[in-house]
């Protein structure tokens, strides 16, 4: 499970962040409780939680690597929802394509399109 902290001012802002992920992942969360809101995306469970303390290790916690299919479509959807381009999709080698975006909540989402990954 990939755990992504959400530094939000209040519950309303936290709920707005969850809605962004719903639209970005084209799927509702499968678990909502007081601790985590969980999504399935790219073969992974991504758990969002409210970050109530300032953590020195925050940089590492704000990055998620996920394998996707049709990277261009997903990349464009994230951008249309307000994510910033860090790295446009490009061929890493062979059939592997990668891209990176930073969503409006400070998470870096590294997208990997690898046809050999099952």
Question: Is 64 within the bounds of a domain?
Answer: yes
pLDDT of residue 118: 61
- Structural domain for 86, as ranges: 2-52+60-113
Question: Is 118 within the bounds of a domain?
Answer: no
Tens of pLDDT, residues 10-29: 788 888 889 999 999 888 99
What 99-104 contacts at long range (C-beta under 8 Å, 24+ apart), as own/partner pairs, is: 99/71, 99/75, 101/75, 103/20, 103/24, 103/78, 104/17, 104/20
Instruction: Provide the domain count of the chain.
Output: 1
Q: What is the CATH number of the domain that holds 70?
A: 3.10.180.10
Question: Is 101 within the bounds of a domain?
Answer: yes
Residue 98 has pLDDT above 70, yes or no: yes
Cβ(37)–Cβ(47) below 8 Å = yes
CA distance 114 to 47: 23
Tens of pLDDT, residues 24-49: 988 899 998 878 899 988 777 888 88
Q: What is the pTM of this model?
A: 0.81
């Amino acid at each position: 499970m990939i755990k992504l902290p959400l530094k939000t001012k209040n519950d309303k802002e936290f709920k707005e962040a969850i809605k962004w992920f719903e639209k970005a992942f084209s799927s509702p969360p499968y678990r909502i409780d007081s601790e985590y809101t969980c999504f399935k995306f790219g073969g992974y469970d991504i758990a969002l939680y409210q970050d109530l303390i300032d953590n020195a290790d925050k940089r590492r916690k704000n990055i998620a690597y996920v394998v996707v299919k049709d990277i261009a479509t997903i990349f464009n959807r994230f951008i249309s929802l307000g994510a910033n381009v860090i790295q446009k999709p490009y061929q890493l080698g062979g059939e592997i394509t990668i891209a990176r975006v930073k969503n409006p909540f400070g998470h870096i989402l590294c997208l990997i399109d690898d046809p050999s990954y099952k």
